[in-house]
Structure 1
Amino acid sequence: MLISSRIELKPPSLEWVEPLRLALSESYELHQLFLDWAEPDPSLLTVTATMNVAKEQFERKEHELRFMIVRREDQALVGSISLHVRDVSVPYYEIGYWVRQSATGKGYITEAVLLLADYAFIHLHATRLEIRTAASNDKSRAVAERAGFRLEATLQNACRTQGHLDDMLVYSRIGHEDMIPEIDLVDISPEELDY
């Protein structure tokens, strides 16, 4: 588990299936704009299946390390963030995230990105982190920029947003030395997460 002053990043677990299903249902209108996997009312069966895949990948430390973003004060699920394993020989990872509709605009995702980036640089010895987002996704672009990621490339016509061609922006962080120290990291517990 990774902990900062306001949030905890918790590994995937079946205890989060129903809160996750509710968060996804609540947030469909927001998510369907940019996330092709969004569905209006995901079934318990579907969410359980994806959680089981996330647990297996997390335990094997391959493909994707998915975390539930949990608000510390009331243990409410506010979103999800993942560290996608792109190349462990580099090591190189990509960060993906989403927030539930009722938790937007509160800085939880930026805090989660900073916390996960810190973990990746310090404990996984990452040399490269990326965030990719559609050019039209202003909120996701703002998160990347607030977290100190720099725009590295624009991939023209590389994705679709609501059926229309859109550019894909590639943001990157190349090292830990220029991390933004504005998040109070209370504790990072890498024992269960290290490769």
Structure 2
Amino acid sequence: MERKTELPEVPEEFFTERLKLRMPKPGDGKVVNAAIKDSMNELKPWLPFVQEDPTPKDTEINTLESHILFLKRENLRYLIFDKETNEFIGSTGFHDIEWAIPKMEIGYWISTVHSGKGYMAEAVSALTDLAINGFGCRRVEIRCDAANEKSRAVAESLGYVLEGILHNDELSVDGNRLVDTSIYAKCQ
């Protein structure tokens, strides 16, 4: 018998000290696409959606799909903006959500021009707090390629525990080799 789970209220927008995080909206594809294009060299080793240069239309479609998934509570992507200037910084959010437990995974990427300023750690810290204190999550994960030192540094800086490394776990995003996956978690 499947357990019926009532879905929690999910904020469409919230703020940190320096950032505004909000769900994707129609029309956001243009600014997201520009950031992807400016950051291709840094993102390409880690993310499948930058293996080929996405068109603005491709990114807008992806943004609209993310908006729908957000409304359905199946995937909760947040776009990150500077709170003062409204400049786009990156993207983060919850995926692989299991409301019945509840548990979820946080993913993220940042525009190269904003890297190294602590923005992603600030955003992921806020998401972690939302997951644990807002949604009552018993487990929050961050999974990344074990060679992605910057992504791992975000998890480690926020006190996530490295539970293990899955060796030869996945194909690389370019499909040319096997990669290891680091699994970090916070549990309640």
Q: TM-score, normalized by length of structure 1?
A: 0.85
- Which digits, 9 at most, give the CA deviation of each residue in 1:171-194, with x for residues without a partner? 00003xxxxxxxxxxxxxxxxxxx
Query: Match of 1:84, as an amino acid?
Result: H
Equivalent in the alignment of 2:79: 68
Equivalent in the alignment of 2:177: 164
In structure 1, C-alpha distance between the alignment counterparts of 2:108 and 2:186, rounded to whole Å: 16
Query: Match of 1:128, as an amino acid?
Result: R
Is 1:12 the counterpart of 2:24? The answer is: yes
Gaps of 5+ in 1: 176-195
Query: Match of 2:156, as an amino acid?
Result: E
Is 1:93 the counterpart of 2:121? The answer is: no
- Which digits, 9 at most, give the CA deviation of each residue in 1:152-173, with x for residues without a partner? 0110111234533221010000
Is 1:54 the counterpart of 2:93? The answer is: no
Query: Match of 2:187, as an amino acid?
Result: I
In structure 2, C-alpha distance between the alignment counterparts of 1:39 and 1:61, rounded to whole Å: 27
In structure 2, C-alpha distance between the alignment counterparts of 1:18 and 1:141, rounded to whole Å: 29
In structure 2, C-alpha distance between the alignment counterparts of 1:44 and 1:138, rounded to whole Å: 29
CA contact (8 A) 2:44 2:50 kept: yes
SS in 2 for 1:61: coil
Question: Aligned pairs, how many?
Answer: 174
Is 1:33 the counterpart of 2:45? The answer is: yes
Aligned match of 2:120 in 100, 109, 115? 109
CA contact (8 A) 2:93 2:107 kept: yes
Gaps of 5+ in 2: 1-12
Aligned match of 2:156 in 126, 132, 145? 145
**Structure 1 range deviating more: 43-52 or 135-144:** 43-52
SS in 1 for 2:28: helix
Aligned match of 2:140 in 129, 138, 144? 129
Equivalent in the alignment of 1:45: 57
Q: TM-score, normalized by length of structure 2?
A: 0.88
- Which digits, 9 at most, give the CA deviation of each residue in 1:32-82, with x for residues without a partner? 1111221453212111111111010111111x1000011112101110001
In structure 2, C-alpha distance between the alignment counterparts of 1:124 and 1:16, rounded to whole Å: 26
**Structure 1 range deviating more: 37-46 or 19-28:** 37-46
In structure 2, C-alpha distance between the alignment counterparts of 1:60 and 1:101, rounded to whole Å: 31
SS in 2 for 1:130: strand
CA contact (8 A) 1:70 1:78 kept: yes
SS in 2 for 1:13: coil
Q: Which has the higher contact order (CA 8 A, sep 6+)?
A: 1
In structure 1, C-alpha distance between the alignment counterparts of 2:116 and 2:129, rounded to whole Å: 22
Q: What's the C-alpha RMSD, in Å, of the aligned pairs?
A: 1.3
In structure 2, C-alpha distance between the alignment counterparts of 1:139 and 1:147, rounded to whole Å: 13
Query: Match of 1:34, as an amino acid?
Result: W
